[in-house]
Structure 1
Amino acid sequence: MHIKSIYIERTQSRQKTVSLNLSALNISVLYGENGCGKTVLLRLLNAVLGQEDRVLAEEKVQQIRIVYENDNRKEKEVRIICKEQAASDSAQITYDWSAFRASELFGMASILLCPNSGNASHINVSPDFLYWYIVEMGHIEHFRTGNDAQMLCDNLSQHIKLKQSGDGKVSFESQSDFSAPVLTIDTVDMHMVEMLLLERFHLAQQAAQDRVQKALFDILANACDSANMEAVDETALRMMLPTNQKKLIDILERLEKNALSDKIISILKSDDQKFIAKELKNNSLLAKLIVKMSSELEREEMPVQSVNKLKDILNAYIGPEKYIEISDDRIVIKFHSSPETHGIEHLSGGEQRLFILLTVFILEGDKRQLFLIDEPETSLNMKWQRGLMPLLGSLAPNAQIIAASHSPAIAEANVSYLVELK
């Protein structure tokens, strides 16, 4: 599916009509003067996919015409037309969605990323400031004692801090769980992103652990049914073991302790590959178990691969002095020259913006057909801007990406990305 052009007609607007022909590539970068409607177009396109009458009504939309090419490369056109033109209240204005619902655009999954996503502003409201405010405004008389007022200020300050940090999970479900097929991401706190990544990572780890345990029982069951174990493929074993050795140890150590897993761990922990090969050659059951478990690990859940890929890409950008490390309960920044660690909220504005973009594309790149990004260059240095669009395109190769930008560096990798809003 590929959107080729968009035409918007509005009433009571400085620009009553807006038209755009998108790039034939999977990436389009919109350019134009400030106020020409780039942000509005992205917002309206996402609203069309979500069938949001209110958003279209607020922008005084009379009609929207979208030309697209379906999976069979057949060009089609869809029109969404206002039905209640005379209504003064935007909440009462509705649109005819029948043509849209009959088209292949219906059900298209999209995400709109706004400029401030990843840069949530935090206000530091201290207990002392709150107490000063109560006294200055004459509200202290409403408390029995000064201690009662101070206790309220302490609790209120802590509540505000938790709400802003995301530790209280405020708005986490609505902003960062990515469950909605059409989603707008405006403000996302870094703590929320960390929680999301760790949650998916843990689910995938548990799934991998369950599969390894099942592999153990499957091979043992086969051994009980057959007196002669089938010979293990030594070539497959040599190829799988170096890649999966540490992963197998980590998973087996998390399983309930037993003699068999202890035996496998003791062999795999050896640094002598010749010793490991000899032990497994002399014990076809153990060799078969390791091959089977390694095969299961190579079916590793996508979230584990995704989080590791995110870490590798981000470290290539923010290094070489510092790097991201993911543990069971936290994502931290570490330094090669120092033992100190920091939370990811201590990344710079540009690093946080990149973190958010990479997180969205790595976790959703194979699930969404359309990504809409308003000012992707926000807070990014010129070098990062130049490589951003090809990077995002590689993370979502089967999706269409439409970005609105004021920076020519964003399209430097390929000028064919550029499309002018008219």
Structure 2
Amino acid sequence: MSWFVAIGGLLLLGILVVLLRPLLKQQDEPTTTASGVREFNLAILREQLAELEHDKANGRLDQAAYEQARQELERRVLDDAGGSVRPVGAGGRRLGLAVGLVLVVPAAVVGLYFYLGTPEAVTGGKPQARGTGAGEHALSPEQIAGMVENLALRLQENPNDGQGWLMLGRSYAVLGRYPESAAAFSRALGLLPPDAQHYADFADIVAMTQGKRLEGEPEKLVRRALEIDPNNIKALALAGTIAFDRQDYARAIREWRKVLVQVPEGSPVAAGIQNSISDAENRMAIAGQQAESKRDSASAAPARVSGVVELDPALRAQLAPGDTLFVFARAVDGPKMPVAMLRKKVSDLPLQFTLDDSMSMTPQFKLSTVGKVVIGARVSRSGDALARAGDYEGLSVPVVVGTENARVVIATTVK
């Protein structure tokens, strides 16, 4: 029995390392796909089966021990189809899956073996031999799916087996058959006592059926899991992910810190959690800076100048109502180019005006970039913005940006 348990433990450890490593890498590192993980696991299984065939041929294993070991390895295939749940997203979304794998895979291995395998090999009873043919150790995806379907058929004969439905749900999940997995989980939860881990796993599966989104039914399942056990690691990890997706970074950090205190310091899971916390802290800092910038902009004095433009009565007879009127502001110290300009007609006089940044000539040279300005008004008979001889104009005294009572009187002829 000792060599049998040792082989099983090494296989389990290898699967966990392969599954957890890509989940706990930084977001900019390449990740291993689910299909790649399954291919890796199948390669291990084929190698182990080949070794068993070799040992049997050399007389190191009798028929009973050979059958026992072979059936155990076949159960490992079902473990690959029943011991994990795919992640629901990147960054913080991978955290719940990584945590869940550490907790669920060992339990799934033991459960599947005792349910479908040969528990007598561990308990000391006599195993029942099953016929196998030479060359059958090359497990194909079709064979894996067939083993899962055999489990489904057994459950049709025994539909009240809650643990069986649970194993089937996990198996369907890794095969990517998420609707069937969700249905199996639903059957299992209706038959088994309330268990926080089951609800957390179910939440992950339902999220996969709706495009990896945790809002809605998955969130309700996570809340139910935390009602049963407020310290359930996977439920806390998923709760943090839900908050993270809503940009509630403070809550995400609180939930993930509850996970951090429950896992071994320095472990890969702890490192993954800390990375997610750091990501949330960085995003929260950026959001805080943006909010502060908006508050500063809102509290700043408005970049505008307003007042009135009047026409000297002596000039009214010399101007037509349709002549063009330009009202502009230019910096007291700086280029003569206006920082804001408004176009009207002589018929609008006297004119109440407001100049602001939306009336700037260029984005780099606006009212908000200068301190003091002079307000000018000019009547152009040609309609040209450039001053020409014969135009009429007037200038205000220098005023600070933000002034609301500037006054301009058009009374001078441009020479």
TM-score by length of 1: 0.20
Indicate the structure whose relative CO is greater, using CA pairs within 8 Å and at least 6 residues apart.
1
Q: Which has the higher strand share?
A: 1
TM-score by length of 2: 0.20
Q: Which has the higher helix share?
A: 2
Largest Rg, 1 or 2: 2
